[in-house]
Structure 1
Amino acid sequence: MSHARPGVLRVGDRVRLAGVSQTVVGLAGTMVHLADEKGLASVVSLPDLLLRAEVEPGPAPSVPRLPMARFHGLPAKAIEEASWWEPHIVEILTGLPPDAAPHARPSAQYDPATRTLAEREAAKAAELTAAGHTGVSTGTVRRKRLRYQAQGVAGLVDGRADRVRPPSGRSDPRVVDALRHILAAEETVQGPSRTVEFFRWRVEQFLDGEYGPGAVAVPSRSTFYRLFRRLSAGQHTTGSARTRRSLAGRPEGPFGQVAPVRPGEVMQIDSTPLDVLVRLDSSKPGRVDLTVVIDVATRTVTAAVLRPTTRSVDASLLLARTVTPELMRPGWADALRMSRSVLPFAHLHELDERLAHAAARPVIVPETMVCDHGMVFISDNFRSSCRWLGIDFQPGHLATPTDKPHIERMIETVGTQFLQYVSGYIGSSVERRGRDTASQPLWSVLELQDLLDEWIVAAWQNRPHEGLRDPVAPGRMFSPNEKYAALVQAAGYVPVALSGEDYIELLPATWRAINAYGVKINHRVYDDAQLNGLRRQPSGVVARKNLWEIHADPYDVTRIWVRNHHHGGWITLFWKHLSTAPAPFGELHWSNAISELRAQGNPDPSEVEIAAAVGQLLQRAHQGPAEVVRANPGQRKRRRPAALGRSEVSRAPSSPRSSHSSAMSQPDEPSDDVSATRQHDEDEPLAKVVPLGIFDARKEAQRWW
């Protein structure tokens, strides 16, 4: 064998013996088994083979190959340079470039049969230098070849291209630890947003306190800014405080997932202020709270109520609405009926005939209710309502909104797909707020509630939901109504709607005596002939001093319900002055009317005066500001509501009783004197406005129930 024989003879090597190309197919001691291209086998002793045979150049040595996916994330220039080096290194190892013809012969300077590896490396360095590539020495070629044999193409990538730098860089570890400590502090997470310069000052103060003044040098301003950007990435430290607190409350590790298989298995409840101005019952613009319940399995919004201030009774009444059918209302399209929806109406109608006039919103009985630690939801009132309905009360972790992500996302969707289309929308934050929003025509709370209920039935319940994809066919999305219909058939779910007596049980309770004239609650008298025989009688409940249990709806003071402790059941009592104020109104309206009368100098208003004031308040709230035509036709200006301020010159000295009597006897159309007064008001400059006291609903709520 020639002097260029390989150092090791292996199975698969090709040799040329007596002019015939053969392949080594086996080794047995000193005997070598060969096979030619026609399959003829022969056996030759190893010494004879080494003397007479000539080794043929074999295939390229096996080297690790870098998958193309490993190139992702590298600069294009680094990938191009590595690809350029690969054929040169392969030529050094095998004598031929990768794209050589099948029967090509190596050039003399790269022939492994005649040149050593060191000679081939030197020849490649000289070739590249002659071609104009500077900085290519024999040592550079050798390092490239060794890295290629060990790592494949990955070894040819410039190490500076994929170098992973630590977030702290080369900064002093003590400075890094100080900044990390300050970024993780509670005052940083929960406090207001500050600039980077503030944190540089805090780091300096921290280092001086830990190691002594001047012991640790604070990096320069530009270096500290780069360090701050790396360590605070994704924390919104100098950005939105709301986003920062939300990210801090997110748990570590992968999120868990609850996969309910039937309606009502897991439901979530939450309350939040709406980003829209409404016309409150005092005709003043203000915001209201939205309290909503959603079913996780079907994403059905089972109930949603708007209130100036959410109380525990609101959450309890929301449970009652959840298990009560949503009836069709005047003006709603006939397509919103349950009988015309995808819901299993025939099956449900057999269980509850009231669904004949129901809208297409499912009735779902909660099994588990998830909520946060708001005072409304952890109150005894709400907990007792859950126990009475057999609902498993499940509060989430403190300051962890991710425990109820479905309702958080639903509330956000209400803002983007409903509220932004409502007149009076103010935006989700101060920087998104427009000017003079209060001058727009505003909906009342009742009107906005009706719009919201219709939107839930018409839009939300029929909108395909991203979270309701078919696991077998992920391309198929279901709407809440479709998902409910599917789960009813799969889980055999039978909802039982709340009865009238069950609804009364959820109302807040108080204890009163039954007097000869009836029952008095907050200066209102309720009576009915059914009380005959119970007047001035003890209830028999000794723990309550023989008083009677009274349930009342705080949003409808027209009637109350008395529990008959003697014979069982409920006794319905109507307000004695219901004929003078037939429109249902709630405790908020009543208390607001009393405050206005007392502010006008009537410290102890009678019940009739309060009823008249409430009637005027409701009429003023529902009519809204009147439009006044300016001198330029085509320009219209809204007159400010009378409740927002009163002119000093327009106040006539009169007693409160006479002023209320005249207000009640005003005709529907303005008189000539009134028209002249309005014309005079437009011509003359506005008088000094003396505003009334602002009604604080949250303070008022503390005195309720």
Structure 2
Amino acid sequence: MGGGRAVVSTSGRPGRRPVAAAASGRQVKLGAYVTFQGGSWQVAAVAGASVTLAGEDGQTASVLSSFLFADPGFTVVGSPRAGVGQWGLLESVPARERERALAWQRHIREIETGLPDGPGSTGVPRPEYDPQRTSMAEREQAKADELAQLGWPRVSRATVRRMRARYHAGGLMGLIPRRKPSSATGQADERVVAAVLEALRRQRGRSKGTLKGLRELTGHILADTHGPGTVALPAPSTFNRLARVLADPLEHPGRPARTATAAPVRPFTPTVALRPGELVQIDTTRLDVMAIGEDGKPLRPELTIALDVATRSVVAAVLREQSTQAVDAALLLAEMAVPHPVRPGFGEQLRLAHAAVPYDRLLALDARLQQAAARPVLVPETIVIDRGAIFVSAAFLAACETLGVSVQPAPPRSPAAKGAVERTFGSINSLFAQHVAGYTGPHVLARGEAVRDEARFTVAQLQELLDEWITVCWQHRPHDGLRHPLLPKKALAPNEMWGALLGACGYVPLPLDGADYLELLPVRFHPITGRGIRINHRTYDHAILNEHRGRHCPTGPGGKWEIHLNPHDVRQIYLRLPDGHLHEIPWIHRDHVHAPMGETTWRHIRAALEQRAEREAHEAALAEAADQILRHTRPTAPAPPAAPATAPGMRAGKAASQAAGGEPAAPHRTAAQAAAEAEDSLDALDARFPAEDRDDVGADESGALTLPGSGALTLYDADQEAALW
């Protein structure tokens, strides 16, 4: 009977008392109907250990009772199926209710069998409970009277009969008092519950507020719906518990702060990958370290990593000042598939030749590994991403398609889908970031008082430190998630797991050159004008554009030309010409910018210049006034009449004109005349501009005009000035 115990009864024979089966009273006796091997049978005879069964079609079968009871489909028609009591649930019941249920069990057994311990126990039944002398109704009434005398409240014969039925239906657990399950909202007013749900609905999609603000909004909804003062708001503590119950994270994503939970709504299944590159997870977060930005101000850089699930290796990591862009995510793909070179300052032990991998066999396949660092090189098959803008952008998806990589977006609001990379971020912050100057801590409560003053490294320097730490520490540190099935107590390092899996899946090199990196850059389309190519107020020009100026591209949309631009270095662009290749087109001012300048820096400069537009006009007017003063100023010593006097502030065009004889030199004047003209010019300057803008301009004792830190003005000798440099 499904693992239960059945008893064959020969109650049909005179002079013998039937034998009960277990606590449920099931019996297989003559005339009973049973189900055996998918058919219905009636027990026709019982002889020792064999049972004779009669079928509906008149056939008979004689089987051993053990074989009959062992059949998976054997049941006794009209009897409940045997089962093991739920002892685990019984242990969770309060002790008082459990003791009461055990007491009821003894009373019910005494009513049915005459003995409190059930069939098979020793002893003599009491007269009022002897089954041979009294009926079931008499025994039930006797038990009700006995319990009433013992002080049990509200016990009648109907109560005893109901408890017997519950015992036969549910066993010992059926004797536990049944309580009506309370709703999640308890005894809260339904009008208040409806108002809270409406407030949560209105809050969906908006910035998360506090529970206090949600309570005020609920009060407004109640007043508008039922009238002011009709329905009272519950106390703040009661309201907070109600809001936490009603604000489901999936149904109400805009719930108040500190009420959301990240607990998965479905059984958690660990992510399994059996070969390197089979599954790579990519994500972005802010690093818990303050770095120095390009403008000299402290900031928290953004970290984007790619984690191989099979080996737990950080195969790519990029730090950026501002928000990570699609080009960074696309270049991560190339960084995974290309060996990481050993950088200056790396120790000899950090070379791939000293790692726990079959280096000689790998070197025969890929010569680039000779100068590679001890980090895995792999070509991803599937990349798991969240639904961030940079990962679903056209640039990133096009790069994945170019390299033959499958992109798998994670379900929304499911951090467990990328659990490996999410946990790695925590490990980087705890194992690396907290030892770096400028560590901010995991949250504001753990942040130091002078974190911004502790920032020491630039983003580029922090990138170097992170790359070295990944090679030195992370790749050689045993990971708790990397264990061999036959050696469960041995945790492997990512490099060790990579070397072990190489024997099963092998290594296939993916050669990428500079042209491949250019193809991964973001694409945009612009026309070629007579001035060149204009992008964000920058002009790019080259002689190679001469034959294409003003012409339409035969393949580009709208006749525009395909251009690849690196947003982290805008000093040049790459143009695809009809020959199919990308050609470098420099910025016309690239020779004046000797360091890579990103698009963010360019926008910052433009914004600063736009804010200083009036200041620029002011400075231009000051420069023009100073130029006029210097033009009429002569040194105290006589000068040759053919040599015009110039000054550093004089414009190049006028100086050249004077040198060519286009403007005659002014006649020699005395120092008094020069001082008088200088005073007139200063008076005019004072009338146009405040005094603080010209504090550094004055005259010496002889009346000659002087500048701060210099004597009387003389001829500017370029060779002499160069010698001083």
Tell me the TM-score normalized by structure 2. 0.61
Measured in 2, the distance between the counterparts of 1:171 and 1:562 equals 68
Map of 2:467 onto structure 1: 453
Larger RCO (CA within 8 A; separation ≥ 6): 1
Map of 2:89 onto structure 1: 70
Judged with a 3 Å threshold, the aligned counterparts in structure 2 of structure 1 residues 657 and 597 are, in CA distance, closer, same or farther, namely: farther
| Mapping of residues 546-565 of structure 1, within 5 Å | none
Query: What are structure 2's unaligned runs of at least 5 residues?
Result: 1-7, 20-26, 33-43, 51-78, 621-691, 698-706, 711-721
Measured in 1, the distance between the counterparts of 2:18 and 2:381 equals 80
Q: For 2:282, what is the secondary structure of its paired residue?
A: strand
Contact 1:189-1:244 within 8 A present in 2 as well: no
Q: For 1:263, what is the secondary structure of its paired residue?
A: coil
Map of 1:159 onto structure 2: 178
Map of 1:79 onto structure 2: 98
Map of 2:330 onto structure 1: 316
Map of 1:168 onto structure 2: 185
Judged with a 3 Å threshold, the aligned counterparts in structure 2 of structure 1 residues 167 and 474 are, in CA distance, closer, same or farther, namely: farther
- Measure how far apart 1:584 and its partner are: 7.3
Measured in 2, the distance between the counterparts of 1:229 and 1:567 equals 60
Q: Which stretch shows the higher mean deviation, 163-172 or 401-410?
A: 401-410
| Mapping of residues 215-234 of structure 1, within 5 Å | 217-218=231-232, 220-221=234-235, 227-232=242-247
Map of 2:208 onto structure 1: 192
Map of 1:112 onto structure 2: 131
Map of 1:301 onto structure 2: 314
| Mapping of residues 115-154 of structure 1, within 5 Å | 115-125=134-144, 127-128=146-147, 140-154=159-173
The one-letter code of the counterpart of 2:139 is R
Confirm whether residue 93 of structure 1 aligns to residue 109 of structure 2. Answer: no
- Measure how far apart 1:352 and its partner are: 1.6
Measured in 1, the distance between the counterparts of 2:395 and 2:106 equals 79
- Which one of 2, 10, 13 corresponds to residue 12 of structure 1? 10
- Measure how far apart 1:413 and its partner are: 3.5
Measured in 2, the distance between the counterparts of 1:227 and 1:521 equals 56
The one-letter code of the counterpart of 2:9 is V
The one-letter code of the counterpart of 1:96 is L
- Measure how far apart 1:353 and its partner are: 1.3
Q: CA RMSD in A?
A: 5.7
- Measure how far apart 1:277 and its partner are: 0.9
Judged with a 3 Å threshold, the aligned counterparts in structure 2 of structure 1 residues 590 and 156 are, in CA distance, closer, same or farther, namely: closer
Judged with a 3 Å threshold, the aligned counterparts in structure 2 of structure 1 residues 456 and 167 are, in CA distance, closer, same or farther, namely: same
Map of 2:448 onto structure 1: 434
Contact 2:528-2:551 within 8 A present in 1 as well: no
Measured in 2, the distance between the counterparts of 1:264 and 1:536 equals 42
Contact 1:513-1:548 within 8 A present in 2 as well: yes
Map of 2:432 onto structure 1: 418
Measured in 1, the distance between the counterparts of 2:459 and 2:425 equals 18
The one-letter code of the counterpart of 1:275 is D
Map of 1:675 onto structure 2: none
Contact 1:343-1:360 within 8 A present in 2 as well: no
Measured in 1, the distance between the counterparts of 2:244 and 2:470 equals 43
Q: For 1:144, what is the secondary structure of its paired residue?
A: helix
Measured in 2, the distance between the counterparts of 1:487 and 1:149 equals 59
Q: Which stretch shows the higher mean deviation, 148-157 or 313-322?
A: 313-322
Map of 2:636 onto structure 1: none
- Measure how far apart 1:153 and its partner are: 0.8
Between the two proteins, what is the percent identity of the paired residues? Answer: 37
Judged with a 3 Å threshold, the aligned counterparts in structure 2 of structure 1 residues 538 and 323 are, in CA distance, closer, same or farther, namely: farther
Contact 2:290-2:440 within 8 A present in 1 as well: yes
Judged with a 3 Å threshold, the aligned counterparts in structure 2 of structure 1 residues 513 and 235 are, in CA distance, closer, same or farther, namely: closer
Map of 1:643 onto structure 2: none
Judged with a 3 Å threshold, the aligned counterparts in structure 2 of structure 1 residues 593 and 206 are, in CA distance, closer, same or farther, namely: closer
Contact 2:574-2:582 within 8 A present in 1 as well: no
Q: Which stretch shows the higher mean deviation, 505-514 or 111-120?
A: 505-514
Report Cα offsets for 1:384-430 as digits up to 9, x if no partner: 43444344455566776666554344334333433233321223333
Judged with a 3 Å threshold, the aligned counterparts in structure 2 of structure 1 residues 352 and 214 are, in CA distance, closer, same or farther, namely: same
- Which one of 160, 168, 180 corresponds to residue 197 of structure 2? 180
Q: For 1:538, what is the secondary structure of its paired residue?
A: helix
Contact 2:10-2:18 within 8 A present in 1 as well: no
Confirm whether residue 272 of structure 1 aligns to residue 285 of structure 2. Answer: yes
Contact 1:508-1:551 within 8 A present in 2 as well: yes
Measured in 2, the distance between the counterparts of 1:88 and 1:67 equals 21
- Measure how far apart 1:355 and its partner are: 1.0
Report Cα offsets for 1:570-612 as digits up to 9, x if no partner: 789999998x998878677788799999989899xxxxxxxxx
Measured in 2, the distance between the counterparts of 1:656 and 1:548 equals 53
Measured in 1, the distance between the counterparts of 2:412 and 2:125 equals 74
- Which one of 479, 503, 511 corresponds to residue 489 of structure 1? 503
Report Cα offsets for 1:141-170 as digits up to 9, x if no partner: 44433322332212221223xx42122345
The one-letter code of the counterpart of 2:280 is M
- Which one of 538, 542, 560 corresponds to residue 547 of structure 2? 538
Judged with a 3 Å threshold, the aligned counterparts in structure 2 of structure 1 residues 175 and 352 are, in CA distance, closer, same or farther, namely: same
How many equivalent pairs are there? 567
The one-letter code of the counterpart of 1:350 is A
Measured in 2, the distance between the counterparts of 1:252 and 1:524 equals 52
| Mapping of residues 618-637 of structure 1, within 5 Å | none
- Measure how far apart 1:306 and its partner are: 0.9
Tell me the TM-score normalized by structure 1. 0.63
Judged with a 3 Å threshold, the aligned counterparts in structure 2 of structure 1 residues 332 and 204 are, in CA distance, closer, same or farther, namely: same
Map of 2:666 onto structure 1: none
Contact 1:14-1:21 within 8 A present in 2 as well: no
- Which one of 508, 516, 520 corresponds to residue 506 of structure 1? 520
Contact 1:95-1:111 within 8 A present in 2 as well: yes
Measured in 2, the distance between the counterparts of 1:355 and 1:228 equals 58
Judged with a 3 Å threshold, the aligned counterparts in structure 2 of structure 1 residues 170 and 583 are, in CA distance, closer, same or farther, namely: closer
Measured in 2, the distance between the counterparts of 1:559 and 1:393 equals 31
Measured in 2, the distance between the counterparts of 1:158 and 1:28 equals 37
Judged with a 3 Å threshold, the aligned counterparts in structure 2 of structure 1 residues 338 and 656 are, in CA distance, closer, same or farther, namely: farther
Judged with a 3 Å threshold, the aligned counterparts in structure 2 of structure 1 residues 315 and 233 are, in CA distance, closer, same or farther, namely: closer
Contact 1:64-1:152 within 8 A present in 2 as well: no
Q: For 1:148, what is the secondary structure of its paired residue?
A: helix
- Measure how far apart 1:463 and its partner are: 4.6
- Measure how far apart 1:442 and its partner are: 2.9
- Which one of 324, 346, 369 corresponds to residue 355 of structure 1? 369
Measured in 2, the distance between the counterparts of 1:25 and 1:591 equals 90
Map of 1:338 onto structure 2: 352
The one-letter code of the counterpart of 1:231 is L
Map of 2:295 onto structure 1: 282
Map of 2:64 onto structure 1: none
Contact 1:539-1:548 within 8 A present in 2 as well: no
Measured in 2, the distance between the counterparts of 1:276 and 1:466 equals 26
- Measure how far apart 1:327 and its partner are: 1.9
Judged with a 3 Å threshold, the aligned counterparts in structure 2 of structure 1 residues 25 and 590 are, in CA distance, closer, same or farther, namely: closer
Query: What are structure 1's unaligned runs of at least 5 residues?
Result: 1-9, 40-60, 604-648, 659-664, 666-705
Q: Which stretch shows the higher mean deviation, 409-418 or 216-225?
A: 216-225
Measured in 1, the distance between the counterparts of 2:144 and 2:537 equals 105
Judged with a 3 Å threshold, the aligned counterparts in structure 2 of structure 1 residues 491 and 153 are, in CA distance, closer, same or farther, namely: same
Confirm whether residue 263 of structure 1 aligns to residue 276 of structure 2. Answer: yes
